[in-house]
Structure 1
Amino acid sequence: MEPMSSSNPNSRSAGAAEVEGFENSVNEISAKVNTLEKRVNEVEQYYLRKVSQQPTTSKDREKHFNTIKKQQQDAARREAAAAKRMRDLLNKFTAVFKQITQHKWSWPFMTPVDVQKLGLHDYHQVIEKPMDLGTVQRKMEAGGYKSVREIYADVRLTFKNAIKYNDEEDDVHLMAQTLLEKIEEKWQQLLPKVIEEEKRQADEEAQARVDIKQAEEVAYASMAWDLSSELFEIDVYLKDLRKVVVQKCRKMSFDDKRRLGTALTQLSPEDLSKALDIVAQDNPDFQATAQEVDLDIDTQSDYTLWRLKVFVKDALKLKAQAAAQIPEAMGGKKVITNKRNREPSDAVAKPAIKRTKKISAM
């Protein structure tokens, strides 16, 4: 946008409107960026509290990620070793299971009990969970068991069901009792290794959960740090863009400054503080939060003045809208207050502002 000529009022007005439009768009984006920055800061603080070793530099972060990577590799190796040990246990128990199924008395237990054929009408009332060795074998071959203990439990259940349902003098009862004793004898020999493996797996699974959680926390923290850096770069870009826009527009005239000074006196205390914060952003020496503030309009940069102009215009517009809603909320009745109307003075050298804020346009 080319600088506007002061000889054409209409051109100046159009130029100012265009600049204000740019400023509104830039300020909206800046507000969104500020909101995102706050959210990122919250995420960063959360993960900084969570991660035990806080990586503060790129080298620290790289070292931390290498540690996590090594932990993940170690976890993979532990899983592979655990799988091998489990296969060894399964092979040992499979050999025991094969001895049981090849026993001369195993045949009644190789298939599910045919309740209807045998006329066992009360079988399902007595036996809650039927089981047989054939079903166990098929499930083993299909990889349906997670541990050796599960296989042993089903084999034991097969014989316990037979013992429970059949009388002591029945042959099936005796056969089941004999095979149960054999499987429990073999199981007692294998049990110490099973217990050792189960404890080892429990410890490794607990460590794996810790490693996974830590890896996730570091990953999310890294995302937050990277996002924070990107947002900072965007914020700098937007500030530079605002300055470019202001530089391309006309200088603010004396009348514009006078009207801006008058408009500042009409702001609410809260909006006035925000306006002073805008001045402080471009002037680090300006004490916006001091008990007494002396603001000289003429010494401010065009960048600050145009930002103030856009902010004041929006603030007074919202203030007018809020004031217009009061009569409507009271049934359309006119509200009369004891405050007398005060016309803004043309001499705005240093008009009085609430909370001892002072503004000077000369």
Structure 2
Amino acid sequence: METLDAPVPEVRSESEPALVEELGQNADEIVVKVDELEKRLNEVEQFYSKTNKKQSNASKGSSAGKDNDKDKQLPSFKRRQLDASRREAAAAKRMQDLMRQLSAILRQHIMGHKWAGPFMQPVDVVGLGLHDYYEIIEKPMDFSTIKNKMEAKDGSGYKNVREICADVRLIFKNAMKYNDERNDVHVMAKTLLAKFEEKWLLLLPKVDEEEERRKKEEAEAQLDIQLAQEVSHAKMAKELNTELDVIGKRLEKMRETVLRNCRVRFRKMSTEEKKALMTVLTQLSPDDLNKALLIVAENNPSFQATGQEVDLDIDAQSESTLWKLKFFVKDLLQSQGKSPTSIGGNTTTTTVNHNNNQNKRKRETNDAPAKPSQKKNKKPS
């Protein structure tokens, strides 16, 4: 005869709350992981969306050749990165050389000129009483400021030779703007500016050549960046596929766990199991019996769990209610150190013993003196 503790196929050892908590934790972890993957997926999609737009602007005839070139360039990407670093260092060195050449021109032909004195230091606005100087001149400039900026080592110096040229012109244009054409300072500034422009034209071809070379190198560097991004996003896409497979397996495992437990919990309970369950319920303490009746009431709103006597039709209960009751009494007996198998056995005998105990209690009540009314007990019938 099947008892309350009859083996159930594939029942998990942990209790239902523990199982729910475990599934909840797994679900939370997966949600966090999916959010992370979604952000990375959006990044990959945006990158390839921009890449496709750029490719669509190119001619169809050249697109195939570019794709082939890209495939050839990918294996040598590390070498291209090293070449780009070398090109950057070489370009910086060439620009420094151009700035040194311009500095030499300034020293020999401009700063060494007999008229260069008024322009070597910042204008003494206060000493000369030039109260309107800053209203007319927005950005003062002088050769000592240019020299300090050329020698700066903290990154605040000039980045290219054209910046120096612009500041030299600013020195003389400021003087010409503030002073009248007949003023000596105006004449001196105009003369030195013309001399500077003459010398600058000699250096300009080298500057133009360097700038054109720089544009080509920057285009190559941009291609390297594009290739690096494609390699990175291709790797990211591959990793996304792998991680999605892992999540898919975890979800499938969770699905199997849920389905397995649902099949176990909601399979149809046998008649013998119902009898064994009813036997245990009749032997519960009033407090535990109240808890069991609350389980019934939760799943059956029409069930009344109050009154002196409660009629519990075990056959009328849903399968989910029966299994909740079974797990409840099983956990209860285990927590009390009792073996559920000891409650099972022959249900007819258990019922008789229960009735005999009930009759005995009735006889003792009849033989005893009259007492006030007792507390109402609930018992399933």
**TM-score under structure 2 normalisation?**
0.52
Aligned residue in 2 for 1:76:
85
Matches within 5 A, 1:128-147: 128-142=138-152, 144-147=157-160
**TM-score under structure 1 normalisation?**
0.55
Contact 2:176 2:190 in 1 (8 A): yes
Structure 1 letter corresponding to 2:34: L
| Structure 2 segments unaligned to the other structure (5+ residues) | 56-69, 271-297, 302-315, 320-381
Contact 2:10 2:260 in 1 (8 A): no
Structure 1 letter corresponding to 2:92: A
Question: Aligned pair in 2 of structure 1 residues 12, 155: CA closer, same or farther (>3 Å)?
Answer: same
**Bigger Cα Rg:** 2
* 1:8 correspondence with 2:18: no
RMSD after superposition: 4.6
- Counterpart CA distance in 2 for 1:202 and 1:171 is 43
Contact 1:26 1:242 in 2 (8 A): no
Structure scoring higher RCO (CA < 8 A, sep ≥ 6) equals 2
Aligned residue in 1 for 2:107:
98
Question: Aligned pair in 2 of structure 1 residues 142, 28: CA closer, same or farther (>3 Å)?
Answer: closer
CA offset at residue 62 of structure 1? 11
- Counterpart CA distance in 2 for 1:240 and 1:13 is 18
What fraction of aligned residue pairs are identical, expressed as a percent?
Answer: 46
- Counterpart CA distance in 2 for 1:231 and 1:6 is 45
Q: Secondary structure at the match of 2:138?
A: coil
- Paired residue for 1:183, among 196, 205, 209? 196
Question: Aligned pair in 2 of structure 1 residues 109, 48: CA closer, same or farther (>3 Å)?
Answer: closer
Contact 1:48 1:221 in 2 (8 A): no
CA offset at residue 233 of structure 1? 3.7
Question: Aligned pair in 2 of structure 1 residues 85, 28: CA closer, same or farther (>3 Å)?
Answer: same
| Structure 1 segments unaligned to the other structure (5+ residues) | 54-60, 258-319, 325-342, 347-362
CA offset at residue 174 of structure 1? 2.4
Structure 1 letter corresponding to 2:181: E
- Counterpart CA distance in 2 for 1:122 and 1:79 is 46
Aligned residue in 2 for 1:159:
172
* 1:29 correspondence with 2:26: yes
Question: Aligned pair in 2 of structure 1 residues 244, 33: CA closer, same or farther (>3 Å)?
Answer: closer
Q: Which moved more, 1:82-91 or 1:122-131?
A: 122-131
- Paired residue for 1:85, among 79, 94, 113? 94
Contact 1:89 1:194 in 2 (8 A): yes
**1:248-276 Cα distance to aligned partner (Å, 9 max, x none):** 9997896269xxxxxxxxxxxxxxxxxxx
- Counterpart CA distance in 2 for 1:234 and 1:29 is 10
**1:98-124 Cα distance to aligned partner (Å, 9 max, x none):** 111112221111111112212222322
- Counterpart CA distance in 2 for 1:8 and 1:214 is 68
Question: Aligned pair in 2 of structure 1 residues 159, 148: CA closer, same or farther (>3 Å)?
Answer: same
* 1:127 correspondence with 2:123: no
